[in-house]
Structure 1
Amino acid sequence: MTQPLIGLIGYSRVGKDEFADVFVQEFSALRVSQGDHIKQHFAGLLNLTETPFQLAERLRGQINEEAFWEMYFHHGADVIDYARSVNDRTGVDAFTQVDEVKDRLRPLLEKGGYVILPVVEAQMWAQVRAYPGLVINSRLFDVPQCEAWRAQGGLIWELHRPGVGPKTEYEDKNMREVRAAGLVNANFTNAGTLGDWHAQARRVAMQVMTQITQLSA
């Protein structure tokens, strides 16, 4: 049987991680995310334990260094200055859930993520191939990623939440392009409490696991 792969796509704050958590905690799925790998690479910059030069050196030979420095000067320097000022008080975490901080970090993580994407993709797919069971990707975000996921037999589900729209033009553009390419297999709406959302994810997960069991028999 082809390895079961589920990918989630949707605007920031619609509940992708919370939906994926049910699959992980209750059904032993492996959660992966290119976004997590991107944040891991930039975490040292944001908590000021690594300089841009050290990050570039660590990724030497794996990335386009000219593109890296262009990204840094156009999108990263201001973010690092912001991180430095905030770190004097509370610190900056690349995985923060504080909306104000996330909004300030987003340009570096978005633009920088594309520069280091070859490294990130290789790390993520190594995780996927090493896992014997269901894998859920909690953060697909553009057409090439979705096409690669579908090419490996994966499903893509778009998650929605009333009143939640794109945070940036970049996010809006990517979502429109994914829909236009016909890459979404199903849609789910987070319209209630967190408990309601978990219950919906649990029902969907049970259906998926039943189908996997039947196909494996």
Structure 2
Amino acid sequence: MIKIENLWKIYGNDKIKVEALKGISLEVEKGEFVAIMGPSGSGKSTFMNILGCLDRPTRGSFILDNVEVEKLKDTDLAVIRNKKLGFVFQSFNLLPRISAFKNVELPMIYANVPLKERSKRAIAALEKVGLKDRIHHKPNELSGGQRQRVAIARALVNNPSVILADEPTGNLDSKSSEEIMDIFKSLNDEGVTIVLVTHEIEVAKKAKRIITFRDGEIIEDTKNMGTGDE
């Protein structure tokens, strides 16, 4: 699903140079649930931005679902972001003036999905995350946990190859965090590939594999034998 070889990201110029990623290599198989950990400045956010086609590597190879991403034009990257990737952010990134249903529908509008199909998929996605009775509520009428459920539903509707979640529990209380991670675990059990960034070890333990970054390098890559049952 994801294959990365000798990936570098360098900011600045010859005088002032910051090596955010230093020759990263890894593979993520279809159906994996991977947690990325590391302190601030470790390179994990830069790595996720490249995975999400929001930034380009300085050099190295990035293959997503058999597509050599680093060679694509910006217009093609936009298509990849819309059709192959689903994003879940710490701050939810919902449009405040429209309903949960309309927020979930947006990626399908950009993908030119027909109206009837959009409605069917949006309702199914909201039902999957337990919000069928909240489809017409606006974000300010929902709790933090419910807003993150809307964001997950939005990430699902175009049937992406991978869901990328950046600190998805960062703004939630412990109960809501547990519920959101249970949703991710359930989606992964259904075969959805998930890559998640977190600084919380209890959240990372819900994943099946934990990759730890430090100073732009991978220092640990371990299978979580508990697979979220702690």
Which one has a larger percent helix, Structure 1 or Structure 2? Answer: 1
Per residue, is there more strand in 1 or in 2? 2
TM over 0.5: no
The normalised TM-score by structure 2 is 0.36
What TM-score do the two structures reach when normalised by structure 1? Answer: 0.38
